[in-house]
Structure formats: structure tokens, C-alpha cells
Amino acid sequence: MSAAKETAVSIVREFRRVPPLRAAFERTDPLRRMRRLVQSGLIDAHFYAAQLGEVSISVADAARHYVTSGQYAGLSINPLLDDRTLRRRHGGGDRPPAYEYLWSRSWDSPVSPLWDVLEYAHRHPQALDHPAGPVGHAWEQWLKEPDLLLPTSNEDSASAADIIELHRSAGAEWGSADALRHRRDASPHFTGRESMGSWPDSLPRPMVSIVMPTWNRAGKLRASVESALAQTWGAWELIIVDDGSWDDTAVLSGLLAERDPRIVYMPRPHEGVGAARNAGIDVAKGAFITFLDSDNEWEPHFLENMMVGMREHHAEVAFATIEIDRGAEPFYREAPATSEALELGNVVDLNTLVTTAEALRSVGGFDTRLARAVDYDLVLRLAKDHVIHHIPILGAIYRDREDDPERISVAQPFGWNTLVRQRNLVDLESAREREMAAGTTLVIMLTNHDALLEEKLLELQTLASRPDLTMRLAMIAPTPSEWMLGKSAERRVPGMTAQLFPQEEPYGYVVARTLADADRENFVVIEPSARFTADAAEALIDASASGTRRVVAPLRLHDDGTVATAGATFAKRSAPPMQFLSRHPVEDVARLGPELKVPAVSGRTFGIATRDLLEIGGLDPLLFNEYEIPAMCVALLAKNQEFEFVTLTEVRMRLADLASDFAPIDPVGTSQAIRSVTAAVTPTRLSELYGQLGLEVSHLIGSSTTDGENGTRQQNHLHPVVVRSRSTVIVDGVELPRLRWALRIAAPAFPIGGTWGDTHFARSLAAGLESLGQEVVVDHHDVDSRPTAYLDDVTLVIRGLDRVEPVTGGVSMLWIISHPDQVSRTEAAAFDRVFAASISWSTQVSARWGLPVAPLLQCTDPGVFYPSEEPRREDLVFVGKSRGVARPAVVYPVQADIPVRVFGAEWDGILPDGYVEAEYIENARLGKLYGRAGAVLNDHWNDMRDQGFISNRLFDVVSAGGRVLSDDVSGIREIFGNAVVTYSSPIELVELLRRGPDDLFPPEEQLREHAARIATDHSFRARARVLLDAAIDQLAGSSVTKDPDT
């Protein structure tokens, strides 16, 4: 951009800040954005039209659509620009991402996962001067040079033509499906014709039989009949089928029949709307049959228009547009009834359907086994043998009133619609007859706006080497960018196929669709919200392949690390299943072994033999809301009592909070359906199941759910209230109470917090307490208030950088291991006992606060940190992050050209290349790294050094037989002897290192003596014993730390 243009842009931006002018500018924003996009030359009109399901569009119209609506649907203006990638930096405002990228000249931000625009700009510096930046330059170059190569993120190159073709073809697929979805939507505008013309006078008019079922709708019946009487087509008969009404329907129908001989009244016992319609069909005399519900009304020319239109199209089955009256503005349903449209749902309203009597009777009329969606079922069966024509006239008005107590939807589960779709559209019978190959069909369900999509695809890519695996991406209502990612993975990963579901679908229906295509002996499904690793997926796959008559599921965890469900139990017959150990800490489940047999698995991730699932017809389509899998287990057990259901407690998947996950559907109807499923189950022996953990079920409590459709409340959940039984253990010949400890730490749950030092510290302390016969759980920072915390006897907060509140009614203890300046008297006074990892600081604050703070130094885990028999190396080692600063213990030796092996992250820009050996090293490998190093470098936070808090790294290194150079902290010499050499400044550190470690430290025999002493006196088990004694004293009513005024 020229200097003059830069100045002009700056002036405009300043003017926009003036309030009176800002509003005027904003009114012109859309037009200016459209012009800027057109001028960029980046709009690929053909590509944009394909995303709309259209053949063509002008560049100007594409710009207008993108600015006003396309940006919100995630459309892209160019196949080199990816909307999902752009939104990471340019989303969230009202400006379209592509426009924001161009306007802000963000040439340093990524634009697509398929090519590396930054590397492209590096290779082509002139691209930065292009008005549309590197993307504009690359687009122009490709138009001139079809063989252009673009750099990719993996330091390779890819054909620009291949990238563009992939984006275009994926966009076209998505656009075609999305256009179909939109065409099915009711429109506020009627686009049809007023009339189809007149019936020829020379031709006889065929008889039309009108079947009108009714049940206790005397108040609405007359209006519907009057609309039939008003028809301009006079060759009809009206059969009023009274399905056992007890109101005035019989009287009114009799009067109407007396008024017009074409009206026939047919009373019958109450058997449902399908049976009523079939009874009318049986006595119908017309060559054509149509239906009019007793609460709807036809337009006067409806029958005549239909007869004329059907004659014109030689149609045996046809329907008209219907007006939907919801009490406000009318909507019109007029989508064509193509097979593709009917796959997504019904578009034919029965009140405007006209068929020949022969066509209707050939499909057997209505299925009386269905309690709902009988019209959709009929339409689907008619569509198999006939083209269903849309006659583009307004046929009827449908009164859609949610407050009508006689609506079928109030009384019957919504799942009947899913059942009808599944039965007519999903061919499980062919799948049963198919020869299955060895191995597993892995179905990964993905919903839109999943922030973990790229992470999941990367994990799946590592499974591609398995020859026994077929992977199917079931992508439910994806954005165009997400679908492109799926298609890219399909091309890149052997054995992977992406399947597009253009609209939100019930879980069971997606399972059925993918099951119908299954080609291997085993079938595994991973739900959208599950955050999984390749190792976890592989463990689930292998477990599912271990034999038939077995269903496996992972341990599902909430995002805070607590258990979502470890399986399902059945407290009693005709009741929804209960989640086993929901909201318990994961340690409770781990105590039950790697394979936990449960009455039923639960959740939406599972593995099963393919034929076992096919044998029961897939999942029950009447069920939603995570009742599908427990019900599947009930059905399997009914087939064969040898089935077993297993939760794999070491295969753990955390549930992400996805806004687009399967939404709750029809809670009341689903509750009714699951009660029917569990009517004959054998109730779970809860005492045996919970007794394995020393827990007893005190009682069950119920909760209720409000059905948003009609406001009714119905109990649909039971929850167990459990209590712990008290016990004692013998440790070192002493009887001790077996207490339940909750260790609360500031580290987040796995996977982020799995590498944190706080997590390793807590696990080692837990092992120390467990060696004393204690029961221990670890609560990470994410756990705000665990509902099962009332079971804990002791809460121990391990205080690091962040404050963590105690959440128990038992003993509360605080152990301050670092950052003492962050701890206040108010915080400490909330605990029964307070400990600190500094002798001097404990003495000082006890006097200052008037609260007893006992010293309890940091420690080590001798099971990890112990002397090795390997020879000592000559290297210098530092383990730790940079903390965002140039830590002197590392930087000064490096500047002095002294080699240091650094293990840790965030050193970019601080250390030269080649010094950081790895950003992370597993805790289990640290012992050997520390113990045999020439020396380990160490430093402390300023407040820890000043207040006498000695780092646990010193304990670990010395316990491993290692040698440490550390900044000086009070107490180091007394604890570690000459195994730790201290320095007073970075300059002194460099001087010591130049002398060489061998001149600074004692011989190996003495180092081993130090190691043995630290392992004995300063182990986690030793600290655990101090904490246990304090808890026992506190429970016995000994002195307290808590401020009596708090």
C-alpha cells in the first residue's frame, strides 16, 4: 500500500471514531464490504454458487450474499480461503472473515489447513505487495500456471489445482445437500399458482373419496366438513370415521349426513387414527382417495386443481402446498417430494395428498402398529413404487397449535418419526446377509463447530496403518469448512470415508445408517463429545474384537475429570436406568479393575460384534437422551443371557462441552419409552455393585424433567445416595482408621494437567497414603464442587500458585508447597490444619497470624527417583519451562558457552537453537536423567528462595543419587549435605561450572548415602504419615487451626 493510501485509510479510521459520523459510516458498511471483496479479485463465482446449490451466480451477487448471509453459514469466497481457519483470528465480529482478512491486511495469519500461506509469502516476497496479499497473488499465479505448487504445513508441497479441486468438489457436495435441506423448510411466501385450470367438460369427473377420521373433536368438525362441502369439484363422498368419540361427534355427524347424501358417518371402537383411516379406505367407492383431518380445512378449488393437475402429469400420487397457521404469520410447505427430500423428513401433508385407490390399497393403507408418523410411513411406502408429484396450488390450512391437548404429539414419543425413517430408508436386512471381513468398522461421529475436529482427525490418521480397520466419519450438519476437512481426510487416510448428514439427526438414526454400511465383524462408535487419543480408540477397538456376546465401552469422564458414567444400573422395573458412579472421582472406578462388568454400558461410545447389533435391528429408534445404549443391552440380554457388558476403566474419554452435540429430545416421550423397555428387567443388586467400593446405597432420590412442548413434568431420573462404611487397617503393627482423602490441586485435569508437576506430586502423595491403608482421590482445579465430596473424611489442598477452596464437611488441611506470598491469613484460617514446606516461614507466620502453621517440607518418590548402576555422564541438565523470563540458571551458562541440555517449553527467543532437547520429558524418565547427569541446574522463584521453600527437584535429584547446583535457600546444607552445591549469583554459578562438577561434589559412595537418607526421611510415605497422624488427631477433637472467629 502506498504512503498516500495509508494516510487516507488512517484518516477514514479517525473519522469513524466521531460518534455522529460513525452511524453514517456503518450504514454504508455492507456496500463498502461488497465493493472491497469484488475489487480483490478473489471471488470465485462458480465455487460460491456451488456452495449455494446453484449452477451460477454473478461476482456482485456472490459478494452481496456473502456479506449479508453467507458468512454466517460459513461459506467461503475462494477455494484458497478456508472459513474455519480465518475465523480463528478474524471471527467474532460483524465483519465477514474474508473481508476482515483483506481489510486488516493480515498477511501473517493462516488462511487454510491445506496450504501454508506464510511459507508461500516467504518464497514469494512480492506477494506481500499484492492488493489481496499472498492469497491474491497465489490465485492469480494459479490462473496463469495451472501446475502451480503451494507449500504445506508439513514442509512439503501440494498442487494448487488439487487443493482447489478438493475445496470446490466438497463445497458442491455440501451446497447440494444444504440446498435440499433449505427447500424442505416452510417458507413465508407462497410461490405456486392460483389455479391449474378447469376439468374438460367432455370428460366424466372421477369420484374422490374423502376419509375424515375424528375423535372427540365435535367443536372443530363442522368447519372441516364445510370446507369439503364448498369444493368446486362435486364428485366426492365424505366418510366420517368416528374413532370411538364420547363427545357430540355422533350427533353432529348424523346431522351433517342428513344434510348431504354424499356424507357417510361411520362409528367404530377406538383403535387409533391409522385403523380409523383404513376403515374409511375399505368402504371408499372413489377411483381416488384423499384425507382431511377433522381440524383442518381445504381451499374451495383444492379437489378440482388436484384432479386437473394429476391428469396433466398422469400422476397416481400427488399433493398440494399447505398453509401452516401457527397463530402469527402463515408459512407454506411446498417442497418437492423427491426421494432425497423424503430421506430428511416428510414434506407431504396428508391433508393435501391424493392417490388413486389402487395405488393406496397396493401398499396396504396405514400401518396400525405405529402410534405416530403414520402419514410419513405411508408416503415413504408410496414413494417406493410411484413418483409423488407436487401440484403447485394452495390446498389446505393446517392449524398447528401446540396447546391442543388432543394432538398426537402430546401423547406419543417423537421417536416414531425416527422409527419410520429407519424402517423405510435403512436397509439392515442386506447388512445381515453381507459377508463381513475380519476387523472393525470404526464410526466417528462429528457435529458442527467442534473445536477438536483437527485434533481428532490427526489421532485417526495414526490408526490408518491398521489393515483390519474401516473408518467412517459421520459428519452431522457440518459447516462447509468442516466437510472439506472430512473429504481431505478421506483422500489422505487409507480406509477412511466421510459421510454427510446435512441436518441434525438423532443418535440412533446415525448409528443405523452407518451400521447398514458396516463391512467388518466388529462395530465401534465414538460419540461427538468424546475427546479421544489414538491409543484409547485402539484399546476400544481391540476390546470389541475379543469375542461375540460382549459389549464394551470406555470410562466417560466429565471435562473436570470426574466420572460421567461407568455404566448403567436398573434400580427397579419400569424405571429409567441410573448412571453408575456418576460424579465420583476416577479413582473410585479404578479400584474396580481394568474391566468392570456392569448391568449395562451407557453413554454413546461403545463396541460390539456387528452381527449382534444387526440381530436386534440396531438401536431402539423410540429412545433418545442416552437411553439408547442401556436399552440395547436389555434387548441383547433378552436374546441371550450370556451377554456381558464391560466398562474399560483404563480406556478413558473426556466429554467436551459441544454446543452442537445431540440435543435432548422429547424427555417425557423418551421416559415413557424407556419405562416400557425396562418393564421386565431384573433389578440390579446395588448392594453388591457398590459394596465393592465399601459403599452402601442409603436410598434413591428422583428428579423430574419438564417437557418444553407441553409443560408437563414427569420423573425420569433416579439417583443413589451412597454412604461409606467405616473400617480400620493394620500398618506396621498399628491399627489405623481407613480414611478417604481428597487431594485438591491447582492443575487442570488430563490431558492438559497430566504433565504438570502438581499432578505428579499429588499422585505420589496418594501412593504414600495408600501404602498406609488410606483411600485417596485427586480433585483437579476444574472440580469446583464435586457432589460426592460428602464421602471424603479429609480434604488436603496442595497449595501452589493458585488458591483452591476446601469442599468437605470433614477435616480440611492446607499444605503450602510454593508461592507463600500468595497465601493470606484469611485463606489459611478456613482450614483445620495448615502445613508449609518451609521451617522459617512456618515459624514467622504462626507468630504473625496467631494460627499454628506446622513445617512439612517437600519430598520425593523413591519409586521413581533412585540411584542407577549406569556410569555418570558429564552433561549439565536443566528441566523446566522458561516461565516467560530468561532464567539466569540457564541463560548465564549458555552465554558463557557452557553446554546445557534443556528439557522444557517456552524457550523460543530466549535460547539459541539446539539447546532445548525436548519440550517435555516423562516423569518416569527423570530419575535416570537426574541421577547420572554430570550435574543438575536448579533455581527457585524469588519468594520461595526468600521464604525458605526448597524445591522438590532437590529432593528428587539427590534421592536419585544425583548432584545439584542450586541458588541458596535456607536449610539446603542441613538437609542435603554436600550433594547440593549452592551459588549466590549467576556469575558464581558460571565460575563453579568452569571448575567442573567432579571438583565440586563428593564421591559416589557418599552420594548414595545421601540418596538413601533422603529416600527414607523425606519420602512421600513419610510425609503421608505426618498428615495421617494430624487427621486422626483432628478427628479425635485435638487442637484446631481454624480461627474461632471465622
What is the DSSP track for 197-249? Answer: ----TTSPPPPEEEEEEESS-HHHHHHHHHHHHT-S---EEEEEEEES--STH
Report if residue 495 sits inside a domain.
Answer: yes
849 in the same domain as 880: no
435 in the same domain as 408: no
DSSP per-residue codes, 318-341: EEEEEEEE-SSS-EEE-----HHH
Of the candidates 352, 15, 335, the residue with the CA atom closest to the CA atom of residue 184: 335
Domain hosting residue 907, numbered range: 876-1018
- Rounded Cα gap, residues 517 and 656, in angstroms: 28
- CA distances 965 to 355, 772, 838, 1035, Å, are 92, 34, 20, 43
Report if residue 604 sits inside a domain.
Answer: yes
434 in the same domain as 408: no
The CATH number that applies at residue 798 is 3.40.50
Beta strands 595-598 and 644-655, pairing class: antiparallel
Report if residue 1023 sits inside a domain.
Answer: no
- Rounded Cα gap, residues 223 and 246, in angstroms: 19
Report if residue 861 sits inside a domain.
Answer: no
3-state secondary structure of 282: helix
979 in the same domain as 924: yes
Give 498-542 pLDDT, tens digit per residue: 999 999 999 999 999 999 999 999 999 999 999 999 999 999 999
- Rounded Cα gap, residues 309 and 318, in angstroms: 9
Q: What is the pTM of this model?
A: 0.89
626 in the same domain as 488: yes
**pLDDT attached to residue 715:** 46
* DSSP H stretches of helix in 113-211: 117-123, 133-144, 160-184
Report if residue 236 sits inside a domain.
Answer: yes
Give 569-581 pLDDT, tens digit per residue: 999 999 999 999 9
Last residue of a domain, one of 412, 447, 467: 412
Percent of the chain whose pLDDT exceeds 70: 93
386 in the same domain as 454: no
The CATH number that applies at residue 930 is 3.40.50.2000
Return left, alpha or beta for 724; rule: phi > 0 is left, psi -120 to 50 is alpha, else beta: beta
Cα of 422 vs its chain's centroid, Å: 24
- CA distances 172 to 41, 53, 743, Å, are 21, 7, 54
- Rounded Cα gap, residues 901 and 921, in angstroms: 12
927 in the same domain as 840: no
Last residue of a domain, one of 787, 821, 855: 855
Please check whether residue 472 is in contact with residue 499, taking contact to mean a CB–CB distance below 8 angstroms: yes
The CATH number that applies at residue 670 is 3.90.550.10
436 in the same domain as 408: no
DSSP per-residue codes, 568-626: EE-SSTTS--EETTTT--HHHHHTT-SEEEESB--SS-EEEEHHHHHHTTSS-TT--TT
- Rounded Cα gap, residues 288 and 237, in angstroms: 10
997 in the same domain as 921: yes
596 in the same domain as 552: yes
Beta bridge partners of 398: 324
- Rounded Cα gap, residues 581 and 691, in angstroms: 12
Of the candidates 673, 682, 675, the residue with the CA atom closest to the CA atom of residue 641: 682
**pLDDT attached to residue 1044:** 41
545 in the same domain as 687: yes
Total number of domains in the chain: 5
Report if residue 179 sits inside a domain.
Answer: yes
Residues of the chain with pLDDT under 70: 1-28, 399-413, 704-716, 753, 807-808, 1038-1046
Residue labelled with grid coordinates 465401552: 553
Report if residue 11 sits inside a domain.
Answer: no
618 in the same domain as 476: yes
| Residue type, position 473, single letter | L
Report if residue 1038 sits inside a domain.
Answer: no
- Rounded Cα gap, residues 318 and 411, in angstroms: 30
CA dihedral 131, 133, 134, 135 (to 10 degrees): -90
